[in-house]
Structure 1
Amino acid sequence: MTKIERILPQGFRLVAKPSHCSLEGTCLEMKGRKLGPLGTEDVKLVLRSFTQGRFAMKPRIVCVDGAGSELSCEPEPLVVEVLEVTLPDHVATGCRSLDCALFGGIPKDYAVILTSTSCDERELLIKRFLEVGAQKGQVTFYVTTKSSGVDFLPKEYESDFYLFICNPQVNRMIESLPHVFKSSGVDNLTDISIAVASASRKLTASPKESRRACIEIISDVLLQHHAVSTRRWLSGLITDLKSKGFTTLAVMNPQMHSQEEVQAILGLFEGEINIYDRKAEEGRRRFLRVTKMHDQRYLKSEFLLEEESFMTRQNVK
């Protein structure tokens, strides 16, 4: 048996396969797998699709007999129905891979941390998380040291998007707007907490929509204030945001800190998501995996991150 052609319907991706096989386009190369007379072999594949609907799998199996002649057969088509599984009270992140792994998004009111080195995929996930919230009319807080990539959000969604920038050059980075809060850095954690608390106190007591917050300054704070002070400050901030109905995504680069400091921070969160890179058949690629989500169902498999993993603005409902 040399190969199985047309193994992937359009829009599907191969997630798992036997170790002796390799995928070339939509063809599964069997590398000369030998079968005896009337022999059979099970080929178990795991496929993934982000597109709902009914799809027909029409594989063509190609073999070479003892005389070197090529033979082929086409089994009966297999119809696969793809359904979207979305649990209630989940907050969509804008990353289809992550929302798929979490059955709809981050559980409402959870505080979850994303661990990742600096990379395009991390920045895109953060941007989509913020953008989706603003587009849905959800109050969205963003605590960061930079405004690049999201500086249009305070203007476009001025009633729902709140930007907290902690940077010595903040006045050069963005103009003053009603929902833009400026700090000269992360030296004074109390000032940051007061700014966030002051903004949250002005919100309605019973929101109609979910609220979301992204805290992207953890590594900066941890470098300057170390584990004990950072943990104390972050614990208070998370508690305050939860009391106001926020679902929180925090971000940390674990390679910037000692293992002891990393563990001190991770313990504050109900969920953990990791972006990492490793060698794949196509070279080094970046993957996403949910490693923790207390008392919730989630997929433990890894997801390859590609441009199609992130929903476009038109996809948001």
Structure 2
Amino acid sequence: MKTPKEKSARAYNLGREFTIAVEKLVMEKLGNLEDAFLLGNKLYKKPTKEPIKTRLQSIILPNIETKIALEKSDLELGETVRLGVELQNNSQAAVWATRIEDLVPAGFELAARSGGYRYVNTYLDMHGMKIDSYITENIEVTLRSTRKGTFLIAPKVFYKTEAGVQMSSKLKPVSITVSKTILPDRVQTGFEDLDNLLLGGIPKNYAVILTSTSCDERDLLIKRYMESGAAEGDVTLCLTADSSSIRNLAEEFPRNFYVLVCNPQVDEAFASLPNVFKVAGVENLTEINIALESLLRSLDKSKALQGRACVEIVSDVLLQHHAVQTRKWLSGLIPLLRSRGFTMLAVMNPHMHSSEELHAVLDLFEGEINVYEKKVEADLTKFMRIRKMYNERYLESELPLKKTRLMTTPLTLSCCARTPNL
């Protein structure tokens, strides 16, 4: 039986051994901490007491370390990647970062940036961001690939010292390889940027819904989808309540572009075209089904039917018939078109419906493409994203949707357009 004195001595020795072990471990892992201090959750080296001459040298010629942090170096065409620039001030005096040049290489575009900095011409304007002594600042941007190939990122940071001396530091270059993946059995949408997100296009025979408010960008996406199909020689079918935007396509491609207009107010000359069918409206879904069956029967001469369908009346039907009847109608329409070899793009305005009715319809589709607005700096900018594509690969990147690009870029077509087989 140990005496209280012996127990106290034993506890003291154990405590001393533990303290020595901890100090040894800290020295091994972190080194000498005598010249360090803790600020927040970061450890910084204390400035040493150096002579005035060294202090002046630090002001005139500061020691700035820079490096690039890249999220990944292998991308798919159209994919985004985060790029960080680390600026570490190892001097006793503050510096002011003014700009970063060559941050966005050829083959990329700036998708997003942190800190509210402006991208002007070829450089990121840092507005004279102050970097205090022994402090590290991180600037992050998001780049989007626009061309395939291997690209070198070699930014150059410009900064100003306390003495007003302008200096620069070139970062160690990093390379990014961009490849273009086109998966088999894809139906091109007519818009290259969207096809890149979809890795070649909409999966063949899929039913996909485009959710967007009424806007020019949405209408241009729809038109491109139908026009590329007609130009390819695909049988292209449009169910719409407004035929004004597709009249030219019906007249230009009478052998393979078909329209079912759900509106009693249709121009007689247009309604008399052999590839145009008409019903009174969306009030009678049975009438629409009969007219559609009649239209599809007229296509049975095609032995190898491959086509695309655009259904623009989903919101009209949902407003008129609500969720239960609309789901029932779509549950018959989707497999009908799929059985005839059609890849389906439906269109719906999500702001016109309650959340419950909206999701009751979205649940029926294998894929969803969403067009939406969000504030970028002081302006509202439209973006596009693939929300889902059941059991298929796609890029989850957010794509800025620009009207000028939708109006000017060529349609995406296969290498060899087919002659309509009718």
Q: TM-score, normalised by structure 1?
A: 0.89
* CA–CA distance in structure 2, aligned partners of residues 226 and 173 of structure 1: 33
Q: How does 1:5-16 map to 2 (within 5 A)?
A: 5-10=101-106, 12-16=108-112
**1:274 counterpart letter in structure 2:** N
Max radius of gyration: which structure? Answer: 2
1:101-116 equivalences under 5 Å are 101-116=197-212
Residues 97 and 19 of structure 1: CA distance in aligned 2, closer, same or farther (over 3 Å): farther
Encode CA deviations 1:119-146: one digit per residue, 9 max, x unaligned: 1111011000101111111111110011
Q: What is the number of residues matched between the two proteins?
A: 315
Q: Which residue of 1 aligns with 2:125?
A: 29
Larger mean CA deviation between 105-114 and 17-26 belongs to 17-26
Q: Does 1:287 align with 2:383?
A: yes
Q: Distance in 1 between matches of 2:220 and 2:177?
A: 30
Match runs of 1:190-269 below 5 Å:
190-201=286-297, 202-203=299-300, 207=304, 210-269=306-365
Aligned residue among 178, 192, 201 for 1:96 = 192
1:201-248 CA-partner distances (Å, limit 9, x unpaired) = 32357537x411110001111111111111111110111001111111
Separation of aligned partners in 2, 1:194 and 1:125: 28
Structure 1 match to 2:164: 68
Assess if the C-alpha contact under 8 Å between 1:97 and 1:309 holds in 2: no
- C-alpha change, 1:239 and 1:311, in structure 2 (3 Å) is farther
The letter for the 1-side match of 2:354 is S
Contact kept, 8 Å, 1:94 with 1:310, in 2: the verdict is no
Between stretches 76-85 and 177-186, larger displacement belongs to 76-85
Q: CA deviation at 1:97?
A: 3.0
Q: What is the rounded CA distance, in whole Å, between the counterparts of 2:410 and 2:154 in structure 1? A: 34
Answer yes or no: is the 8 Å Cα contact 2:188–2:201 preserved in 1.
yes
State whether residues 116 and 377 of structure 2, in contact with CA within 8 Å, keep that contact through their aligned partners in structure 1. Answer: no
Corresponding position: 1:118 with 2:183: no
The yes-or-no answer on 1:150 pairing with 2:263 is: no
User: Contact 1:50/1:96 (CA < 8 Å) preserved in 2?
Assistant: no
Q: Percent identity?
A: 48
For 1:127 and 1:282, how far apart are their aligned partners in 2? 30
**Residue among 75, 100, 103 paired with 1:4:** 100
Aligned to 1:85: 181
Tell me if 1:274 matches 2:376. no
CA deviation profile, 1:271-313 (whole Å, cap 9, x unmatched): 1111111111250011111111111122223211013256734
Q: Which runs of 5+ in 1 are unaligned?
A: none
Q: In 2 relative to 1, CA 86–35 (structure 1 residues): closer, same or farther, beyond 3 Å?
A: farther
Code of the residue aligned with 1:265 in structure 2: it is: V
Deviation at 1:78, TM superposition (A): 5.1
**Cα displacement string for residues 125-182 of structure 1 (whole angstroms, at most 9, x for unaligned residues):** 1000101111111111110011222211122211111111111201347241111111
- Structure 1 letter corresponding to 2:254: E
1:44-102: CA deviations, max 9, x gaps?
54322333345454533211122121112444665544322211111111233322221
The one-letter code matched in structure 1 to 2:295 is A
- C-alpha distance 157-205 of structure 1, shift in aligned 2 (>3 A): closer
Deviates most, 274-283 or 52-61: 52-61
Q: What is the aligned partner in structure 1 of residue 225 from structure 2? A: 129
What code does the residue aligned with 1:218 have? V
Which amino acid in structure 2 is aligned with residue 137 of structure 1? G
For 1:191 and 1:285, the matched residues in 2 are separated by 40
Report the alpha carbon displacement of residue 200 of structure 1 after superposing the two structures with TM.
2.4
Q: CA RMSD in A?
A: 2.4
Any conservation in 1 of the 2:107–2:146 contact (CA below 8 Å)? Answer: yes
Counterpart-to-counterpart distance in 1, 2:245 and 2:373:
23
Shift of the 149–49 alpha-carbon distance from structure 1 to 2, 3 Å rule, reads farther
Equivalent-residue separation in structure 1 for 2:357 and 2:238 (angstroms): 23
- Which stretch has the larger CA shift, 244-253 or 23-32? 23-32
* Structure 1 match to 2:46: none
Give the Cα separation in 1 of the matches to 2:256 and 2:350. 31
User: After alignment, is 42-51 or 192-201 more displaced?
Assistant: 42-51
- The answer on 1:303 being equivalent to 2:399 is yes
1:30 is paired with a residue whose SS is strand
- Per mean C-alpha deviation after superposition, the further-off stretch among 279-288 and 115-124 is 279-288
**Do the aligned partners of 1:278 and 1:284 also contact (CA within 8 Å) in 2?**
yes
Query: Which moved further from structure 2: 247-256 or 17-26?
Result: 17-26
